[in-house]
Amino acid sequence: MSKPTIILATSNGVGMGHLARASAVALALKDIANPIIVSMAGGIAEIPSFMGIRCEYIPGRDRLWMSREKWDTYLCDRLLALIEETDAKVLSFDGVVPYPGVIATKNANPALKLVWVRRGLWQKKPQRFILGLQAAMMDTVIEPGDIARAYDFGPTSKRKDAVLTSPVSLFRKEDALSRDDARRAMGLDLNRPVALVQLGTGDSDVNHKMTAALEGLIGWKDLQVVLTKAPIDKDGNSLAPTGLDIKVARYFPLAKVLHAFDAGICATGYNGVHELLPAQVPTVFVSNIRGTDDQEARARWCHDFGFALRADQADLADITKTVRQLQDPQVRAALSAQCAELPNTTGGEEIAKILCALAAETKALNPKTLTFKRLIIQDHINRGLRHVANLGIRRLALVYRFINPHIVGQITAQESPVFGDSTQPEQLRELIKSATRFEHLISGSSQAYRQRREDIAKAAYGDLVEIIKK
């Protein structure tokens, strides 16, 4: 019996949580199915080469390459074409809000099983008002477990429409490299302490948090500080204080080399918590309060039960003070020992079994046309309300920009898209970040699929003068 094809789609969230969960599920599926990951997150560039999983990058609506309505049609067409090319039986979407284009895929292909992987710990954001309508369009809703679920009092916490699994993580004890092997893989000194910092950069408040956290590491004898991204602001100015030995290192998946680190400073996203703590890395969490994820609730749970330290994300002095506690070997030992008591993160395997069982079923949920129309109408209403709420802010911004003209950093090249099926991370990263429109194809696709993709691109972008292949 041939293995079923299952497509794992993810949005482009604030962090890597969606893509990391999909990757964990895909790895669990490899022996029993043919998983394909499609994502709007740039991190997908790392997956084909390192994990041996077929992938496609889809430019998100945030690229502003087309109108919102046209993008939803483009997304639906992309997914339908991929489903036809691969004979996929199940489409799983991991994201806060299933885009209308994702749900339209089910409406256009009633035989398809549509699954929503919906993380818990939501803040009370406007997206909560259409939870019921979105769930009604799904064959199954899955909630990946969260170690901090006891502190979940958000809009999903009382719902009964999801199947709850164990937490999902890319960290696996049996696959993780030893301390010394992990350090060799990252080019680190075997005999000096190492701290991992994953806070990101961008807006000024995020940059200030990075600097405050790094200041807390000053004075740690012989310390090596590892960052996954250079600590510089948008103007190229360093965010790192003097006196630290900083190394910018890229390794994917990072979960495999977590035993290299004596300490971690990280945002309290789903991904970071469910990798660092099962790896028993003593960690300070500095929450990111953007998006729907209630990182502060997760950080409080981790702190209250002794699994990690929580810094007040709104107090730079407290961030520095809390990070400095990691210099104490007794504090680190206590945190690491407590993390040994955490339950296994086997949610990836559990979700894989659910998806395979769905693929074996012959009957799919009949799409509810009326529900779909109500959902689209409500989506337009929500966008309209957000537009009204933001109108005053936008007008103030226009006045500000008139006084202080904005310097345009990148403009999308108005030229024919680049088509390619590369699986090399360096080339994929360059193509995804480029201002030129990039149309990614899964490796080994048919000529008919390539032609269909060209037709979809023409409908989205207009007539193509030339198809450029990479």
Pair 240, 212: CB distance under 8 Å: no
Pair 307, 342: CB distance under 8 Å: yes
Pair 13, 96: CB distance under 8 Å: yes
Q: Mean pLDDT throughout 428-457?
A: 95
Residue 414, CB-side half-sphere exposure with 13 Å CA sphere: 2
Q: Enter the tokens of residue 340.
A: 């040994």
342-401, pLDDT tens digit by residue? 988 999 999 999 999 999 987 766 665 555 555 555 555 444 444 433 333 233 333 333
Q: Which residue has the tokens 């008919």?
A: 448
Q: Enter the tokens of residue 164.
A: 């709850």
Pair 128, 134: CB distance under 8 Å: no
Cα 351 from Cα 356, distance rounded (Å): 9
Q: Under DSSP, is residue 351 helix (H, G, I), strand (E, B) or coil?
A: helix
Quote the pTM value: 0.88
Q: Which residue has the tokens 């929503």?
A: 116
Q: Under DSSP, is residue 145 helix (H, G, I), strand (E, B) or coil?
A: strand
Q: Mean pLDDT throughout 322-328?
A: 98
Q: Enter the tokens of residue 421.
A: 């099926």
63-117, pLDDT tens digit by residue? 888 888 899 999 999 999 999 999 999 999 999 989 999 999 999 999 999 999 9
Cα 388 from Cα 38, distance rounded (Å): 33
- Residue 389 exposed, middle or buried by CB count within 10 Å (0-12, 13-18, 19+): exposed
- Other beta carbons less than 10 A from residue 373's beta carbon: 11
Q: Enter the tokens of residue 187.
A: 């080019």
- Selecting from 3.60.15.10, 3.40.50.2000, 1.10.10.60, 3.30.70.1230, what CATH number does the domain 179-343 have? 3.40.50.2000
Mean pLDDT (the chain, rounded) = 88
Q: Which residues contact 165 (CB under 8 A, 6 or more apart)?
A: 142, 143, 144, 145, 347, 350, 351, 354
Task: List C-alpha distances in Å: 188 to 173, 248, 250, 315.
Answer: 21, 11, 12, 32
Pair 180, 209: CB distance under 8 Å: no
Domain with CATH 3.40.50.2000 in the chain: 5-168+349-461, 179-343
253 preceded by a cis bond (ω within 30 of 0): yes
Cα 138 from Cα 135, distance rounded (Å): 5
pLDDT at 94: 96
- Across the beta sheet with 468-469, what order do the strands follow? 438-440, 418-420, 468-469
Residue 324 CA, chain-centre distance (Å), reads 29
Cα 51 from Cα 45, distance rounded (Å): 11
User: Domain 5-168+349-461 has what CATH class?
Assistant: alpha beta
Pair 176, 258: CB distance under 8 Å: yes
110-156, pLDDT tens digit by residue? 999 999 999 999 998 887 778 999 999 999 999 999 999 999 999 99
234-289, pLDDT tens digit by residue? 888 999 999 999 999 988 899 999 999 999 999 999 999 999 999 999 999 999 98
Pair 389, 125: CB distance under 8 Å: no
Residue 337 has pLDDT above 90, yes or no: yes
Residue 219 has pLDDT above 50, yes or no: yes
Q: Enter the tokens of residue 148.
A: 């901090």
pLDDT at 408: 39
pLDDT at 382: 47
Q: Mean pLDDT throughout 420-443?
A: 94
